[in-house]
């Protein structure tokens, strides 16, 4: 994508309004430990789980004896500091406030470094507080922070219990549900109700900690800047106990004072995988919560330096690749893509990375969710892509999976015990045979391309070959079936799905060549070429290409075509993409390009895939700009939805899903970028 780099160098300093996120990531680790601010100001309303249910965190600053709210919205009245800054970077969310002669900062720092799995899998976020004087005087400043029992239960009627420990001579607070139903529930609109939330400080001096009734904690803090001397777990009918810390920053002048807290969640067991309870990756060698907190405290300074450098480098590269608006979208997607997954260790130590279909059906390890998110893992950590594919590949070669096509899913999160979609393992009805088989072959070829070998695919060659044979028979002109856009219903002769099948056959040809099967490589390459030629004849409709081969006067985004470019397959004439882009630019609405002619809704991930087909930076920008406007103006205040209306900017469904990892696909169109990040983060 040399055109992007060149034009960026000319225009990168142009002023562009910073995006207003529909929701802001605060603590974003996995589908259960995922806390967001869904308003413009952090002290405007309470913090929430990605599902929209309360996950309550509050923070206050006490300046010269008067308390001001920084975060949250509890019942008692309180003055607020004015929020003066809100910025999201890949690994940090930064807030700044001003008032009473002081500036106060609160940064949520999650060292989400995809090449360091030990750090990435650590379910711990640092809350960094800073304070300084702005009026030339000196001010006495204390910080209050608390976490509510709704972080450790699924519903408010579940009782929670708190406890206090000593960790290296410092207070450590813990809270969890009383019943501890480990991995007992599966489903979509759920929050965790097992394991334990932990709260710890950076050091002991100037710290007071308390577990109990919030009113008692707040009253003591407002009066003294400290918390009660003894815990009082309060009346469970008033919402259960709270964990609270007060930090004395001292008498502060123009030089900022700083402290941090650590908020962590140890789920004990994270995933059920074919009836085996799996530990989170960070726990694989026997570490417990105390070990995690000790290590996190020791690593803080080095992780902060690494993360700041990563943020700066990635932001610059995103802007170089696609401009400021594209960078805004990708940065907003970064932690969300990671937080819709859980990384665990199998019994033999193999890394397994499970996505959840957040607010689409709750499935776990869904292939057509892994596929749109794959640009993220292909760019940053091919090891994570293998960890996503591993459960699918192992399931597909079990005797219980008897179909000649790839599975759709492995169950309902957090229980990965076998497919549930479309009747599960019982029937072919309502499955996605062409979709999932094509997805798997394309992802495996992309993995081989970035790693420089196909060793991973070679381990599963019989299964992969079976899928290629199925696509050779069924892929050119698909029967009436679902695709990944299953909300649009069944469709026969789907032109975009046909593209996927044809490219998957080309991908299989590449894999065959890399694994010592030259005859298969030549034969499947020839088949893919013949199919591509037939596709043009079947799909052409004047100045564009049809939605379905039997439906003249229709159109659709051909987002799957991007892999012809990224994998260097060159199966389709280049003018197809050029013709489609020109046509799409006549069909855009205020907030983006519709998915096809049937409805005004679109998919954010596919819009970016389609934009990557553009031959010029100008056309790329024309497709990206309305998508940026959607995120900036949508009244749907939820973690970035990928399915929305292009006329109203309102969410149609889905939120907080991992598929936004697909927004990184323009980076794969630049060979230098694709080569840079996996090397740097392995």
Side by side, which strands form the sheet with 48-49? 24-28, 34-37, 48-49
pLDDT at 2 over 80: no
Are the CB atoms for 484 and 432 separated by under 8 Å?
yes
Q: Tell me the per-residue pLDDT of 452-498, one tens digit each, with 9 for 90 and over.
A: 999 999 999 999 999 999 999 999 999 999 899 888 999 999 999 99
Edge to edge, what strands does the sheet with 643-645 contain?
A: 601-603, 643-645, 651-653
The torsion region of residue 122 among left (phi > 0), alpha (psi -120 to 50) and beta comes to beta
**Are β-strands 271-273 and 415-416 bridged in parallel, bridged antiparallel, or unpaired?**
parallel
Residue 13 has pLDDT above 70, yes or no: no
Write b or e for each residue in 663-672: b if 16 or more Cβ atoms lie within 10 A of its Cβ, otherwise e.
Answer: bbbbbbbbee
121 contacts 247 by C-beta, under 8 angstroms = no
Residues 6+ apart with CB under 8 A from 415: 183, 186, 271, 272, 364
574-584 vs 604-611: helix axis angle to the nearest 10?
A: 130
Contact 354, 365 (CB under 8 A): yes
Tens of pLDDT, residues 539-572: 999 999 999 999 999 999 999 999 999 999 999 9
Give the per-residue pLDDT at 235. 57
Asked whether residue 238 carries a pLDDT value surpassing 60, the answer given is no
Mean pLDDT of 142-161: 97
| pLDDT of the residue at 426 | 83
Instruction: Please state, in angstroms and as integers, the Cα–Cα distance from residue 232 to each residue in 8, 56, 96, 229, following that order.
Output: 58, 19, 33, 10
Question: Region 402-415: what's the mean pLDDT?
Answer: 97
The mean pLDDT value for 267-283 works out to 98
Confidence of residue 233 (pLDDT cuts 50, 70, 90): low
Return the pLDDT at 7: 30
Q: Does residue 4 carry a pLDDT above 70? A: no
Class of domain 25-266: mainly beta
Strands (E), 110-193: 124-133, 139-147, 160-167, 170-177
The Cα–Cα gap between 625 and 670 comes to 20
- Degrees to nearest 5, angle at CA 438 with 423 and 575: 135
pLDDT band at 35 (very low <50, low <70, confident <90, very high): very high
Residue 212 has pLDDT above 90, yes or no: yes
C-alpha distances in Å from residue 404, one per residue of 173, 470, 476, 585: 52, 7, 17, 39
Least confident of 13-17, 39-43, 599-603: 13-17
* Phi, psi of 592, deg, nearest 5: 140, 180
Rounded to an integer, what distance in angstroms lies between the CA atom of residue 293 and that of residue 201?
Answer: 10
At residue 18, the pLDDT reads 83
The kind and range of the H/E element at 70 are strand 66-71
**Cβ(209)–Cβ(145) under 8 Å?**
no
* Structure confidence by residue, pLDDT tens digits, 40-79: 999 999 999 999 999 999 999 999 999 999 999 987 788 9
Facing residues of 548 across strands? 494
Q: Where in the chain is the domain with CATH 2.70.98.40?
A: 25-266
**Three-state SS sequence of 416-478:** ECCCCHHHCCCCCCCCCHHHHHHHHHHHHHHHHHHHCCCHHHHCCHHHHHHHHHHHHHHCCCC
Would the pLDDT of 425 be above 90? no
Confidence (pLDDT) at 17:
61
Q: Is the pLDDT of residue 32 over 60?
A: yes
CA dihedral 472, 477, 479, 481 (to 10 degrees): 90
- Please give the structure tokens belonging to residue 80: 């607020």
Helical axes 433-451 vs 671-681, angle rounded to 10°:
80
Instruction: Calculate ∠ Cα 315-321-323, nearest 5°.
Output: 70
Average of per-residue pLDDT across 293-317: 98
Per cent of the chain over pLDDT 70 is 96
End-to-end CA gap in the chain: 24
Query: How far is Cα 525 from Cα 523, in angstroms, rounded to an integer?
Result: 5
Alpha-carbon distance of 567 to 445, in angstroms, equals: 8
Per-residue pLDDT, 234: 56
Task: Kindly state the average pLDDT of the residues 294-317.
Answer: 98
């Amino acid at each position: 994508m040399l055109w992007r780099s060149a034009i960026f160098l000319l225009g990168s300093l142009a002023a562009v309004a910073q995006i207003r996120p529909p929701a802001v990531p605060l603590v974003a680790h996995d589908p259960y430990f995922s806390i967001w601010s869904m308003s413009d100001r952090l002290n405007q309303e309470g913090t929430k789980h990605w599902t929209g249910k309360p996950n309550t965190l509050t923070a206050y600053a006490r300046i010269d004896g008067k308390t001001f709210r920084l975060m949250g919205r509890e019942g008692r009245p309180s003055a607020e500091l004015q929020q003066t800054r809100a910025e999201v970077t890949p690994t940090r969310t930064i807030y700044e406030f001003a008032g009473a002669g002081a500036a106060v900062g609160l940064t949520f720092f999650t060292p989400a470094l995809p090449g360091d799995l030990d750090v990435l899998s650590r379910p711990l976020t640092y809350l960094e507080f800073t304070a300084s004087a702005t009026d030339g005087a000196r001010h006495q400043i204390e910080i209050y922070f608390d976490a509510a029992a709704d972080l450790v239960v699924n519903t408010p009627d579940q009782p929670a219990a708190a406890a206090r420990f000593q960790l290296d001579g410092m207070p450590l607070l813990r809270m969890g549900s009383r019943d501890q139903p480990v991995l007992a529930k599966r489903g979509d609109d759920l929050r965790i109700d097992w394991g334990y939330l932990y709260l710890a400080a950076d050091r002991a001096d100037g710290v007071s900690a308390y577990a109990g009734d919030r009113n008692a904690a707040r009253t003591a803090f407002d009066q003294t800047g400290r918390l009660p001397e003894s815990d009082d777990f309060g009346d469970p009918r008033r919402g259960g106990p709270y964990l609270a810390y007060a930090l004395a920053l001292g008498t502060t002048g123009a030089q900022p004072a700083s402290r941090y807290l650590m908020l962590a969640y140890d789920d004990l067991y994270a995933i059920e995988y074919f009836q085996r309870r799996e530990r989170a990756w960070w726990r694989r060698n026997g570490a417990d919560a105390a070990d995690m907190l000790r290590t996190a405290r020791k690593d803080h300074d080095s992780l902060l330096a690494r993360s700041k450098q990563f943020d700066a480098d990635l932001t610059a590269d995103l802007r170089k690749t696609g401009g400021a608006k594209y960078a805004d979208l990708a940065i907003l997607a970064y932690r969300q893509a990671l937080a819709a997954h859980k990384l665990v260790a199998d019994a033999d130590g193999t890394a397994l990375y499970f996505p959840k279909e957040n607010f689409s059906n709750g499935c776990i390890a869904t292939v057509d969710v892994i596929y749109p998110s794959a640009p993220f893992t292909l760019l940053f950590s091919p090891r994570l892509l293998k960890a996503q594919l591993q459960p699918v590949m192992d399931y597909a070669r079990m005797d219980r999976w008897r179909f000649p096509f790839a599975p759709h899913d492995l169950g309902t999160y957090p229980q990965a015990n076998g497919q549930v979609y479309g009747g599960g393992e019982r029937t072919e009805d309502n499955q996605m045979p062409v979709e999932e088989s094509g997805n798997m072959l394309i992802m495996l070829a992309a993995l081989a391309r970035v790693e420089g070998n196909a060793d991973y695919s070679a381990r599963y060659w019989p299964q992969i070959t079976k899928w290629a044979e199925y696509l050779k028979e069924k892929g050119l002109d698909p029967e009436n079936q679902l695709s990944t856009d299953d909300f649009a219903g069944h469709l026969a002769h789907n032109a975009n799905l046909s593209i996927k099948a044809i490219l998957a056959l080309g991908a299989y040809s590449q894999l065959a060549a890399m694994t010592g099967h030259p005859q298969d490589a030549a034969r499947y390459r020839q088949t893919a070429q013949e199919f591509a030629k037939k596709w043009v004849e079947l799909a052409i409709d004047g100045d564009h290409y049809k939605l379905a081969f039997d439906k003249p006067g229709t159109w659709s985004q051909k987002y799957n075509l991007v892999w012809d470019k990224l994998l260097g397959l060159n199966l389709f004439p280049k003018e197809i993409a050029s013709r489609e882009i020109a046509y799409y630019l006549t069909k855009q609405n205020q907030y983006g390009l519709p998915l096809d002619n049937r409805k005004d809704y679109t998919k954010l991930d596919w819009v970016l895939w389609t934009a990557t087909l553009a031959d010029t930076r100008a056309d790329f920008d024309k497709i990206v700009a309305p998508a940026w406007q959607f995120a900036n103006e949508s009244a749907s205040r939820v973690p970035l939805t990928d399915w929305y209306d292009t006329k109203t900017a309102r969410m149609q469904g889905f939120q907080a899903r991992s598929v936004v990892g697909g927004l990184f696909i323009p980076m794969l169109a630049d060979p230098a970028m694709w080569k840079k990040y996996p090397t740097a983060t392995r």
